[in-house]
Amino acid sequence: MDRMEVTETFAGISLPGHLHTKESLHFAATFPFRATDVLIVTYPKSGTTWMQEILTLLYSNGDVLPAKTIPNWMRAPWLEQTYFRDALRDTAGHRLITTHLPAHVLGPALQQSRAKVVYVARNPKDVAVSFYHFHRLAKFLPDPGSFDAFLARFLEGTVQYGSWFEHVKGWLGQRQALDIFYITYEELHQDLRGAAERLGAFLGRPLGPETLGSLERHCSFAAMRDNAMVNYSLIPAEIMDHSQGRFMRKGVVGDWREHFSPRQTALFDRVYRERMGDAGLRAPWTLA
Ligand code: PPS
């Protein structure tokens, strides 16, 4: 398979060479956004796929056909990946685009364009657990080693896609500059319908009860786990080794408790306080 062992370095972060090239990253960094674009921004494993599905249903007025017939990576393609240019729909209306890139790379172009941004964050302890399991599945990511070793690299910010702390702080810092909507994975869990209503208001598309009902049903974990257009079962085993686990793994809040030792929890909490305390930002999720 192509470039499985290659790592690209861009804007100070490492990215899988199977999905990214210098050229694709340059293209992303200089992309001419339009005011009608909607950009989903996440650190990996924070609820990206969930938000892609929610916005698909929101824009289809609850019609499940696009979500059941078009893979999520074509409905909301990743800006920085090599296939983006071919996948981008040339439409006069909204374009749904996804990215994991940091704010310092995309902030200026987004500000100029007035494109809308939806930022999804998740409790970083659950992100670390989900990312660890994903490393075992995704053949384009390095072998994660033990959970303890992976967690140390996650806290240092030397994992692929860079530091969770820098990603979140960077995008939270764009509050004044961008037309940006912040939401957490935990809020989606708690009240999917309420979250969809708020998203509809932000995007200027108020949702009726039928659309909301369909969205709620179709975006449940069980429905998405069984939808081949979104559960990554279409990806061949050389790229995602499905014998190692499922992309739609557990879909719960607080799974970190099953993985973290008391020592790892204490270390994580200390690093979190050090890294998040200094920015004067109040993170809208709880760590407990
Ligand atoms: S990626 O690779 O960055 O696109 O991954 P991402 O989609 O951001 O995150 C994957 C995790 O999100 C969970 N997920 C969901 N949870 C609850 N409900 C729904 N509908 C849902 N869809 C995706 C998925 O199971 C991964 O989390 P874990 O904790 O590993 O189960």
Tens digit of each residue's pLDDT (9 = 90 or more) over 180-230: 999 999 999 999 999 999 999 999 999 999 999 999 999 999 999 999 999
Cα angle 170, 172, 178 (rounded to 5 degrees) comes to 95
What residue owns the CA closest to ligand 1's atom 13? 251
Provide CATH code, domain 7-123+161-235: 3.40.50.300
Farthest-apart Cα atoms in the chain, separation: 53
Q: Ligand 1 atom 19: the closest Cα is on which residue? A: 221
Of 87-101, 157-171, 208-222, the range with the lowest mean pLDDT is 87-101
Q: Please check whether residue 232 is in contact with residue 240, taking contact to mean a CB–CB distance below 8 angstroms.
A: yes
pLDDT at 1: 63
Range in 43-52, 76-85, 186-195, 275-284 the model is least confident about? 275-284
Minimum-distance ligand 1 atom for the alpha carbon of 224: 20
Strand extents, DSSP E, 73-160: 95-99, 116-121
| Residues ≥6 apart with Cβ < 8 Å to 232 | 240, 247
- Phi then psi for residue 95, to 5 deg, are -120, 125
Q: Best substitution site from 55, 73, 99, 130 to test ligand 1's pocket, by max atoms within 8 Å of Cβ?
A: 130
Copy the structure tokens of residue 146.
């033990």
**Residue 92 Cα, ligand 1 centroid: separation in angstroms?**
30
Give me the pLDDT at residue 85, please: 92
Q: What are the pLDDT digits (tens) for 19-39?
A: 999 999 999 999 999 999 999
pLDDT at 277: 79
| Catalytic annotation present for 26 | no
User: What per-residue confidence (pLDDT) applies to 281?
Assistant: 52
CA–CA distance from 32 to each of 27, 55, 113, 149 (Å)? Answer: 9, 22, 8, 39
* Cβ–Cβ < 8 Å for 4, 143: no
The pLDDT of residue 278 is 59
pLDDT digits (tens, 9 = 90+) for 237-264: 999 999 999 999 999 999 999 999 999 9
Residues 6 or more apart whose Cβ sits within 8 Å of residue 109: 29, 30, 31, 32, 33
Q: Give the number of other CB atoms < 10 A from CB of residue 226.
A: 12
Q: Is pLDDT of 279 > 70?
A: no
Give the distance from CA 259 to its chain's centroid: 22
Using alpha carbons, list the distances in angstroms from residue 12 to 9, 15, 121, 186.
6, 10, 21, 29
Determine the distance separating the centroid of ligand 1 and the alpha carbon of 149, expressed in angstroms.
22
CB under 6 Å to ligand 1: residues?
A: 42, 44-50, 126, 130, 133, 219-221, 224, 248-251, 255
pTM score over 0.75: yes
Which residue is listed with tokens 């989900």? 130
- Domain extent listing, the chain: 7-123+161-235
93 pLDDT more than 90: no
